[in-house]
Structure 1
């Protein structure tokens, strides 16, 4: 056997890609450079990394070798935890063009041209560099890079990230919920499941359970649904009777829901609010019964919707935003009633869209469609601590959130018709109560929901309008962990020749012309018989004058009779005859020869007496 044939025989047992050199993987720096935000991509000459690159260009030797020569204790970034501090030290090093020596600049404005100083920088220089870095990264907001989770066709009105940071839920006005998994998602950023909880109802709120094994879905219908982690329906809560006036006697909500949130610690309790003017708590183990019904305090008896609701961190307090602009707070305790413990009559001048407690339960943040964000101290609730205005809000689901360390609180803004700025995230300092930064998210779409995940250290913001919707994720490769960093670095799997599948052509034996029966013409004949033109069927007899486009009558009517009638030669007398007289002509015949009803009542009924015609008297 020839050696070439032997090689081909052995080679045929392996796929075509066997033995080929794979392409080098794209470095993470290039991947994150592609997702870098335009606002954050502007060069910052004061950054230590760029100064290090400039110094390495000035030095005649290699980069790593020169650093070892300058500092014998040099180690890479992974092994030396003080790498950043050494980086700052390197930024102070300058290369002398004449002597070729390394000098250190004092930092206090005095230059040492005569002497050469070798060693660590002065303490004042080190403190200044550290203070500058702290000023730049005081709040550590991850804003350098950005990715977008797309898929919705309208504004994204609901957002939920589980506590582990592996799965993201987004609900939209297009009636769907999309589920994203960072661990199984590649750089295409596509969802692995799509749900439609209620046909024709917008998704208004999503909330994970404390154990992240289930989530609550609130839509515009009167019934909330519970799904498991994979998107399978576990059940839906019962609907109440809309004809019962007292809401405490109904089994559930009777109109559309507005908001819902899972209990922060109890995995069996959820809270919902509705347009029927009530808040209810439910037991997830029993979908047919509710635990508690809360009716807000109103100035006059009516049904004013509850626009939003929230738990505090301990789950012992419930707050609700009422449609009349009031904020009401209830403490859950034994012997509890519907009367609110804290009542703010005129919290906002319009609908309240978002409420958020601080972790200590002393501060409350409220967001409204009147374009304001208010900070309340629950110990002195008569008036807000601070009011932030000029925050346009056109959506009923715009919320307010806190940073993981609760030094910042932030919210989104909507796009105005005449405004030049798009949807933004506004960050505020909680202690100083002042604006820290405005981050532009979308130039044409409004920012509705926002979140800052503590484990991932990534900021989520949902945007959209009538034509598109998406979830923007802001992260920083040096500050964030997992989440977007995992899926962006995972390239989509390329199709190989082994994935090619030939679809065989299956031929039915009776479909071949050889075995095919001759087509039956029975149906064609039946169809042609029903067609009056093809069958040449004669005209059917006419049942009345002018029927079917023909004139005359069935009893021997001829064309000559029709023409004589039209010409006036044959007169129709029945048109001028009195109807009463025409009926009385047959009275004698009916009396002599009764056929139908008259014979049965001939012996018992009196004789009919007809009134005489008074037509002659009227003529006189």
Structure 2
């Protein structure tokens, strides 16, 4: 309804795209939103944010911030902007919205995941342009390495490190014409090359992945618009607890006394009674499309007819059309001279007047008609 500066709002005014805890201070949260801002929050006081960060834009507009992340010291934050740029801010006294590092056109599509290394030297970025880029924070003009052919169709697809940060992992999405399923790809950080690819699901895309440092297991969430699930990758000799606890147990035998109640899911908003009524504008547009409600007149028929009307040049009904084709109705008036058609009945009208002529028979002068051009030509010949 109105335009207002984002710094004056008590929170985001659009949907959130990401959020992350400060690794050093568990009371501070960083969030990014579609309203084009990043905000820092104090969990003890959620009435308003602590800081509002607006990214640098080439043109004044409202472009969403699609991803955000903290570094492991809690001193820097990074945001992936909808225009494909990566912007980094250093948290210090008197810092504002002006970024310390600005990489224009870092990606050609939305950035879905950002991740700092523990030593603060490497930054990973994952995008919907099917790439994973490795950046050196000391020289951010160009990426150190670009890994391509990584399809990504979900705004939540992330990128992460292994616990020792020697490997980089990310998931891929399934494409329409592709025969291979979704993959979990691992890359060597030092050699900057592909280390391994693990097939996860033949029909569901890998959306997020996490390598847990304590139990040493990799979790991959898969899904599409209809279903979802979680896949766990582990090594029995290296992993601890986690999935091993479930795998080591024998399946519980079902007893006769076990009774499973099938849950009944009630969705009241699916019923027509509880649905939101469409806006008046949409109702008017729907009525205008309905020829009965809008009292729309019939348009002239052109080409093949419809609705019982045949699209002939004379615009006739179906019955008339069939009778004409069958020879039962012959229309000759289109080819006749109107003057001759009227004079054809002149003699009959003079001998047997019926309507107006008898009333003026005594006073009506004798009509004199001009001769046709064809008769004059015949006389001259």
| TM band (smaller chain) | 0.5 to 0.7
Q: Hey, what does 2:22 align to over in structure 1? A: 263
> Which of 235, 241, 245 matches 1:476?
235
Alignment TM-score, normalising by the size of structure 2: 0.66
Alignment TM-score, normalising by the size of structure 1: 0.41
Mark the CA change 1:290 to 1:387 in structure 2 (over 3 Å): closer, same or farther. Answer: same
SS at match of 1:290: coil
State the distance in 2 between where 1:380 and 1:500 align.
64
Q: Please give the per-residue CA displacement for 1:61-87, whole angstroms capped at 9, x wherever unaligned.
A: xxxxxxxxxxxxxxxxxxxxxxxxxxx
Matches for 1:425-504 after TM superposition, within 5 Å: 425-494=184-253
Q: CA deviation at 1:493?
A: 4.5
Contact kept, 8 Å, 1:244 with 1:250, in 2: the verdict is no
Q: Hey, what does 2:6 align to over in structure 1? A: 247
Q: CA deviation at 1:489?
A: 2.0
SS at match of 2:50: strand
State the distance in 2 between where 1:438 and 1:388 align.
13
State the distance in 1 between where 2:251 and 2:12 align.
45
State the distance in 2 between where 1:445 and 1:492 align.
27
Q: Hey, what does 2:38 align to over in structure 1? A: 279
Q: CA deviation at 1:289?
A: 1.7
Q: CA deviation at 1:286?
A: 1.4
SS at match of 2:7: helix
Q: Please give the per-residue CA displacement for 1:105-126, whole angstroms capped at 9, x wherever unaligned.
A: xxxxxxxxxxxxxxxxxxxxxx
- Count residues with an aligned counterpart: 259
> Which of 66, 86, 91 matches 1:332?
91
Contact kept, 8 Å, 1:423 with 1:442, in 2: the verdict is yes
The gaps in structure 1 that reach 5 residues or longer are: 1-241, 502-620
Q: Hey, what does 1:407 align to over in structure 2? A: 166
The gaps in structure 2 that reach 5 residues or longer are: 260-381
State the distance in 1 between where 2:92 and 2:13 align.
27
- Where in structure 1 do 4 or more consecutive aligned residues deviate above 6 Å? none
Q: Hey, what does 1:371 align to over in structure 2? A: 130
> Which of 162, 179, 200 matches 1:420?
179
> Which of 363, 370, 387 matches 2:146?
387
> Which of 62, 65, 71 matches 1:306?
65
Q: Please give the per-residue CA displacement for 1:341-369, whole angstroms capped at 9, x wherever unaligned.
A: 00001100000000000001111010000
Q: How large is the Cα RMSD of the aligned pairs?
A: 1.5
Matches for 1:50-449 after TM superposition, within 5 Å: 243-449=2-208
Q: Which has the larger radius of gyration?
A: 1
State the distance in 1 between where 2:159 and 2:205 align.
15
Mark the CA change 1:495 to 1:465 in structure 2 (over 3 Å): closer, same or farther. Answer: closer
